[in-house]
Amino acid sequence: MATELKNLSSYDSTKIANGKGRRIGIVYAEWNEEITYALRDGAVNTLVENGVDEQDIHLASVPGSFELIFGASQMVKSGKYDAVIAIGCVIRGDTPHFDYICEGVTAGLSKLNVEYDTPVIFGLITTNNLLQAQERSGGRLGNKGDECAVTALQMIAQFK
């Protein structure tokens, strides 16, 4: 479903699995920090609102979105987390760099989901401009971080 048709922060809390006792890793990119920090904070707040103790949420930053693959990999391999959320933001520019980063991160995070038993939640937003990123990080379309947190809790409940 296109984001334009659904607010990323809208969810029915009665249908979300309680996160009490769950440990969540969040790896987030420093690049485009105005966006990624808002996404990170949205994820943390939603996890806490749904029962996850703040002490059970581990945050790790990486320089850019491409490094999310390594950061998420290290979290998954540690065996400490019930789910890992990878948060980043890539905004299209004038060169094909956007395509390489988006494809690489997608492939890398997808591989982790296939190879390990810990769900890795895809929180990379890929937009054409800064306004679209702002709209998806707490603006008029909600916060993708909220959606990632809900997804993590649902995946844990379904498969762990």
Active site residue ranges = 97
Alpha-carbon torsion angle 119, 124, 126, 130, nearest 10: 150
119, two tokens: 């769900």
Question: What is the CB neighbour count within 10 angstroms for residue 25?
Answer: 25
> What's phi and psi for 24, nearest 5 deg?
-125, 130
Q: Which of 36, 130, 33, 46 is CA-nearest to residue 88?
A: 36
